[in-house]
Amino acid sequence: MVSSLQRLGCRTNFTIKNVTEYMLPESKEAVYLHQELLIIRPAFEVFAGEFAAIQGVHARYDYHHNAQMTRFPKRLHKSLTETHYGLAFGFDDEQALEQFIARLRAIVKGA
């Protein structure tokens, strides 16, 4: 998945504790890679069904929490302190990831 994101033009900012922050090409929109999951901002929840409709894309229907996702909002989750969270998606293959990133970029650009 790392090579696919790089080939698509996503740039890496940092990697901390199995979480890598990427920025979408030509934007300041952050996404995070944690193991085999790609996590996007919870603001895109209104598009979750559209993303899940892409063949080979699998939405995780519970929020993904991780303190390293610093560009995302926080909420309380199994702790006394708030933790950053987002929407997680898994992919069957490279083509599904490419279609997902293309759709996400179009949404970010307002298309």
The residue ranges of every structural domain in the chain are 2-109
CATH class of the domain whose range is 2-109: alpha beta
pLDDT of residue 80: 83
* Dihedrals phi, psi of 28, to nearest 5 degrees: -110, 25
pLDDT of residue 5: 94
DSSP, residue by residue, 43-92: GGGGGHHHHHTSTTEEE-SS-EE-TT-TTS-EEE-SSSSEEEEEEEEEES
pLDDT > 90 fraction of the chain, expressed in percent and rounded: 80
Q: What is the mean pLDDT of residues 5-21?
A: 93
Asked whether residue 103 carries a pLDDT value surpassing 90, the answer given is yes
Q: Quick one: tokens of 5? A: 């994101």
pLDDT of residue 61: 81
The predicted-structure confidence for 14-59, as pLDDT tens digits, reads as follows 999 899 999 999 899 999 999 899 999 999 999 999 999 999 999 9
Overall pTM surpassing 0.85 (yes/no) = yes
